[in-house]
Structure 1
Amino acid sequence: MSTSAATEFAGAWTVGRSVRRTALLVLFGLLAVVLNTGIGYATASTRAIPIVTGILLCLAFATGVHLLHRATWLALLSLLPALFVLVGSVQLAPDLALEQRGLRQQVTIVNAEVNGKRHTFTLHGTTGPLDEPLVYQGSAPGYRVGDTLTVLTDPDGRIALRDADRVDSAGKVTGLLLGTLGWTAIALLAGVRGHVRRRTGRHAGLIL
């Protein structure tokens, strides 16, 4: 089939239209990263809000990939860099705040309580017991009674106490960059493949 005949398929896009819509998807991905990171900064004392908004933005980007590409696998693939975007945008603000203003002190774990996957560790510092415990959500915290570690506490009381070894704002920035680059590459690929699919009339199959 000739190129001129292929363009007659219903729903085929011109090159300019494909480029514009691909650029819009790339821009949306960039704005989603910036927006959710900003929400993370504005609500640094709680992760619930940026987690919810981040999930919605990641799903919206995946939907955009699906619509642009007219197939499912790239949309599903976009969820992998979405994890980097979500974790980075949610955790960057509290990590950065603890690194900038957090009080560092050495403590010893003197008691541990487990409620489901919530592990609560009572801490004792050099000047006495700490009012705030170390909380870990998961099945393998890696802490035991008697362990000595360094923690960071927020003097403003807005951010939960954290193990200093697990506070890494630079790592979160790297994750955000990797997620953004992954989204950009997927959007560009979706734009190219979607343009070809429309020009060749491939609208029914949504898998490949």
Structure 2
Amino acid sequence: MSVASHPHTPVVVAGARPALWSLAMTAVVAGLGLAVIVVNTLVGYLTVGLSQAVPICLGLAGCFTVAVALRLLHRAWWLAVLSVVPALFVLVGSVQLAPEAVLQQRGVAQQVTITDVQTSGKRHEFALRGDSGPLDEPLVYRGSAPGYRVGQQLTVLTDPQGQVELADAEKVDVGGKRSMLVLGAVGWTLFALLAGWRGHVRRARGRQAMAPLSI
């Protein structure tokens, strides 16, 4: 007696997504990172002469958005947490590039001597004297270890239009800030590729976003 054969029924893994969908979402997250870099750098240029709070706040929001996007793509937090490293490069580079570029392009170099210092918390204001007399603008350092002392001679760059605050010429590094943006972009792109691949594998295995073993 023959036994009727039944057609094989494929097993559909819960939560699986087509590879094309995962690839598209990976491209979206990578593009989001690049968009954050471009937009925040542009805002930095548009707000030269104003408070840096605008690009700083916008940059923080953008970096947080990228981290959340990586979390959703990867379905785990550890890559999102590690993305803080390239985010720091992006934030510092996009905020400081514009004012340093302005000083490099139109700044006037002056040899000065530090004559006095006023400290308020972590804000240090160093009074300067040039060849033609005291400068109206101090050298401002925000931090706990400024590395400057009274009597020290150094070269500073001043903005003739008064939009960008005076800065130590040795600390103005436009090329370095651009390199930071490139490193940030490369880092975010690599994280997006890794998150997309691992997320695709997780979804193919039917893992849920809030699985107990997710970290």
C-alpha RMSD over aligned residues: 0.9
Instruction: Quote how far apart the aligned CAs of 1:206 are.
Output: 2.3
Structure-1 residue corresponding to 2:214: 206
Counterparts of 1:87-166 in structure 2, within 5 Å, are: 87-166=92-171
1:37 partnered with 2:41: yes
Instruction: Quote how far apart the aligned CAs of 1:12 are.
Output: 2.0
Larger radius of gyration: 2
Structure-1 residue corresponding to 2:21: 17
Instruction: Quote how far apart the aligned CAs of 1:201 are.
Output: 1.8
Instruction: Quote how far apart the aligned CAs of 1:44 are.
Output: 1.7
Cα deviations by residue, 1:61-89 (Å, 9 ceiling, x for unpaired): 00000000000000001110000000000
Stretches of structure 2 lacking an aligned partner (at least 5 in a row): 1-9
Percent identical: 56
Question: 2:202 is aligned with what amino acid?
Answer: R
TM-score by length of 2: 0.92
Structure-2 residue corresponding to 1:187: 192
Question: 2:27 is aligned with what amino acid?
Answer: A
Question: 2:214 is aligned with what amino acid?
Answer: L
Instruction: Quote how far apart the aligned CAs of 1:13 are.
Output: 1.2
Tell me how far apart the structure 2 counterparts of residues 104 and 206 of structure 1 sit (CA, whole Å). Answer: 55
TM-score by length of 1: 0.95
1:28 partnered with 2:36: no
8 Å CA contact 2:13–2:205 kept in 1: the answer is: no
1:83 partnered with 2:91: no
Question: 2:138 is aligned with what amino acid?
Answer: P
Q: 1:51 aligns with which of 56, 68, 71?
A: 56
8 Å CA contact 2:108–2:158 kept in 1: the answer is: yes
Q: How many residues align?
A: 202
Poorly superposed stretches of 4+, deviation over 3 Å? none
Question: 1:104 is aligned with what amino acid?
Answer: A
Question: 1:200 is aligned with what amino acid?
Answer: R
